[in-house]
Structure 1
Amino acid sequence: MNMLGGFSISGPKGSFDDDSNRSRKIWLLLSYLIVHRGRPVAQRELIDMLWHDEEITDPSNALKALIHRLRLMLETLGDWPGKKMVVYRGDSYFWNADLPVEYDTELFSLRCSRAAAQGISNEERLQRCEEAMELYCGPFMPKYENETWTTPLREQYHDMYRENVLRMVELLRPKENYREIVRICNTARTFDPYDEELYYQTIHSLIQLGMQQSALNLYRRMTSLFLEHSGQAPSERVTELCRNITEVSHSTERDLVKISEQLREKEQISGAYYCKYDLFREIYRLLARTISHTAQPIHLCLFTVANQRGEIPTAGILSGAMERLASVIHVSLCSGDVYTRYSPSQFLLLLPSATEQSGEQIAERILNRFWQGQNQHDLVISYKLYPIMPAHTVAPDEDQSELAVAAP
């Protein structure tokens, strides 16, 4: 019985999994009974689990029919009758836990416990970790992640898996087996692409292997992913790791022609320059230093996406709106302008040479292009303009230009 990474069951005479063309409710019923195999499950509990969001005229008969179909399906596996596997007693059903069935979840939990046991050598512990890793094929019942009762179990098994991965990292590092660390962390990130510790261990190991460029590329992908997902850049711990790579790799370069070639953009320049927030901040500070010498007007512009109530829209609506806004900003600005994702619902723009009037014209052009062909009436796109002051000067009073534009 496998429930990690998918749901499948096999016996002496056959097997089937949740990719087969069978009713979703049959799989829900079977999995619920198996997960709760230590106790009888009342009919009412099963009905509420199966049809909690549906109107059904005769739920008791519907459940009986589903149980009958489940038993027939199970009988194709081997020599046991369906009624021996799914037992009815006292207005309740239960999965017969006395049957000689091997559950991957139980075996995985046992192997993780053995890997964490006290009083064993590092070699033995590493071997036990590897044995546990062989069983984790992915999250617990991934096709049913919207079923609330599966969430605690999914988190439980994932936490056990993550602890096992990091335990292996600690055991492999003294052996300098960095390739294996990269391999297991790469696999682990497919199950949790937002786990910063897994990125840190991968990047650190790539550096130890002399693969600095691969480490930097992974850091850049990580930064983009984190900003898109939560609006937050990686922590200083990871950033410092990659900053050291850059400093070391450039410390001995003396050929200015080669340096210039490395710095030059390889692709044809088109549209505004997009960068991460950390770099945006450094560009801002550099421009703020130059203002007192050049007297060149520079404005900061903040675009915000909200709904009519001033709240952040739902994830699906926000994702589409931010993707469209990014595209419009990119093509509406000059190649010397800079923009960044400031938060999940905001973009920040740097407009060199823009006065307040020309800055408003730019912002209006972006709004007009955004709304062309759009009919999302619950969206409101607002912007604020603010002049950049020379470094070490006091900011003016809050007289920034602001405009909110709802969907037409």
Structure 2
Amino acid sequence: MEVEQSKTLYVQMFGNFQMKYNGHPLTGERLRDTHFTSLMQILLHNVSSGVSRDYLEDVLLGDRDVENRHQALQTIIYKAKRKLKKMGLPEDNYITLEKGIYYWTSKIAVKEDAAVFDRLCDMADKSRDEERQLSLYLEACYTYKGEFLSTYTGVLWAGAEARRYRKQFCDCVQRAASILRKREDWFRLEKLGRYVTVIAPFSDWECLIMEALVESGRHEEARKLYADTVDNYLKERGIYPSAKIMENMEKLGNQIRHSYEILDQIQQNLMEGSENIMGGYQCSYPVFRGIYHMVNRLMERGGQSVYLMLCTLVDSKGNPMKEGERLEEMSVRLGEAIRKSVRHGDIINQYGGGQFLVLLVNTTRENCDIIEKRINQNFITGRQRTGVQYHVNSVICEA
């Protein structure tokens, strides 16, 4: 763990913007001052090169109609110096102007996480020693704590830097993973995968965890991760994981092999738990998709009538419910109502926030209407204003 140096201003640009001096955070109302915060961000990110007066005016004043832009900038800097002194920094002329360029004072050392990240990446790229390369790439990955100035990406310069750092971070992860894969270091590959999926969610990094679990023989955990990943993408974003992640995870899933067992043991492991025996069969999206494929194949010779139903939570105006605690609560209730309303052999999947898929096997269109009424009876209580919107399609054999 790095020991912080006294008399050094530590600046965090990844994630939320923070400044710390002598172990104490410089926070409070002052950081909510837009001009002050914007000034500190761009100056401290460009400690070595400084920032030109014209560019600083553009960043801080934008297109506002200001009579004397130089004077307005000088006023902002004067107020910033006063605030810095009140925040506890040692007395100094914190911001200086030299030949049209503004600089942060050289008397107060600055350590910025983004600059550290840049330096680590550069050192790793130039190194010819694999062990040192891996160490530097991993250190760079763990230095990246989130999007560069995540709440300021609407600012042009900050948004451009955020994109640059995001790409650089992805490159570091891929290069570190490549070395770990080559060394079959599945423990550190899993650790890296779990870190990056939190820092950059919904970016397909779950493949790293899946690979580490499969290669280290933890097959049950790999299966659960596969199902949870697909469900999480659908529930949180209402989207499928990308074709790349689906393809990679299915490919890795196909590598899973069980140890030798007799048939009775295998059959026992395949049995459904008694706690799930009542009502319809609720499962993850990958399982639901596999069952759909299988039912479609069985229709070739069985002549069964199968329907796919989509149940969507709607508000009093008939619009899909929006994100929030209310949606989560109602989704739980709707899922329970559906499970109670369908038959033992019907299959259910929570497709996303407030949406459920139901595969109704060996039924008729008229029975689908009956099931809709049954779900409403189990779900709608009293003067409840939310309801359920239904769409039903016949499953057509694709053979």
Q: 1:20-65 CA distances to partner (integer Å, 9 max, x unpaired)?
A: 454422434422443464222555642459xx9xxxxxx9999888
Indicate the residue corresponding to 1:135 in structure 2.
143
Letter in 2 for 1:241: L
**How far off is 1:191 after superposition?**
0.3
TM-score (ref. length: structure 1): 0.72
Partner of 1:124: 132
Displacement, 1:217?
2.3
Q: What does the per-residue CA deviation read over 1:343-388, in whole Å, with 9 as the maximum and x for residues that have no partner?
A: 7885432123532222113224445776765557xxx964333344
Shift of 1:192: 1.4
SS in 1 for 2:90: coil
The correspondence for 1:46, drawn from 57, 60, 63, is 60
Matched, 1:267 2:275: yes
Matched residue, 2:251: 240
Is 161-170 or 144-153 further displaced after alignment?
A: 144-153
**Structure 1 residue aligned with 2:334:** 328
User: CA separation in 2, counterparts of 1:283 and 1:277?
Assistant: 10
Q: Distance in 2 between matches of 1:240 and 1:383?
A: 35
**Greater mean deviation of Cα atoms: 267-276 or 338-347:** 338-347
1:76-115 to 2 correspondence within 5 Å? 76-81=87-92, 84-87=93-96, 94-96=102-104, 100-115=109-124
Contact 2:18-2:26 within 8 A present in 1 as well: yes
Query: Residue 158 of structure 2 corresponds to which residue in structure 1?
Result: 150
- What per-residue deviation string (whole Å, max 9, x for no partner) do you get for residues 287-346 of structure 1? 455568776643222345789999x969638x9658735741542332432133557885
Q: What is the distance in 1 between the residues matched to 2:287 and 2:94?
A: 62
1:184 aligns with 2:192: yes
1:357-368 equivalence runs, <5 A: 357-366=366-375
Give the unaligned 5+ runs of structure 2.
1-10
| 1:278 CA drift (Å) | 3.9
Higher alpha-carbon deviation: 337-346 or 136-145:
337-346
Contact 2:227/2:285 (CA < 8 Å) preserved in 1? no
Query: C-alpha displacement at 1:111, in angstroms?
Result: 1.6
Residues of 1 paired with 2:17 and 2:194: CA distance?
24
Match of 2:221 among 190, 214, 226: 214
CA pair 166-302 structure 1, distance change in 2 beyond 3 A = same
- SS of the equivalent of 2:309 reads strand
Is 1:337 the counterpart of 2:343? The answer is no
C-alpha distance in 2 between matches for 1:171 and 1:219: 24
- Residue 2 of structure 1 corresponds to 12
| Residue identity opposite 2:330 in structure 1 | R
Percent identity between matched residues is 21
Structure 1 counterpart SS, 2:164: helix
Give the Cα separation in 1 of the matches to 2:393 and 2:141.
Answer: 54
Using the alignment, how far apart are the partners of 2:206 and 2:163 within structure 1?
Answer: 20
3-state SS of 2:12 partner: coil
Q: Give yes or no for the alignment of 1:203 onto 2:213.
A: no
Distance across 2 between alignment mates of 1:134 and 1:388: 48
CA distance in 2, matches of 1:219, 1:256: 27
Q: Is the 8 A contact 2:146 2:200 kept in 1?
A: no
In the alignment, which of 76, 81, 94 is matched to residue 71 of structure 1? 81
Measured in 2, the distance between the counterparts of 1:215 and 1:257 equals 21
- Secondary structure of 1:300's counterpart equals strand
- Other structure's SS at 1:385 match: strand
TM-score after normalising by structure 2: 0.74
Q: Offset of 1:112 from its aligned partner?
A: 0.4
Of 232, 239, 243, the residue aligned with 1:225 is: 232
- Cα distance in 1 for residues equivalent to 2:70 and 2:326: 43
Corresponding residue SS for 2:182 = coil
Residue type of the alignment partner of 2:364:
T
Aligned to 2:6: none
- Alignment: residue pair count: 369
Kept in 1, the 8 Å contact 2:214–2:255? The answer is: no
Over the residues paired in the alignment, what is the CA RMSD in angstroms? Answer: 4.3
Aligned residues of 1:38 and 1:97 also touching (Cα < 8 A): no
Q: 1:61 to 1:313 in 2, by over 3 A?
A: farther
- Work out whether residues 7 and 17 of structure 1, in 8 Å CA contact, stay in contact via their aligned partners in 2: no
What SS class does the counterpart of residue 386 from structure 1 fall into? strand
Indicate whether 1:299 and 2:307 are aligned.
yes
Q: CA separation in 1, counterparts of 2:396 and 2:368?
A: 15
Q: Structure 1: which amino acid aligns with 2:221?
A: S
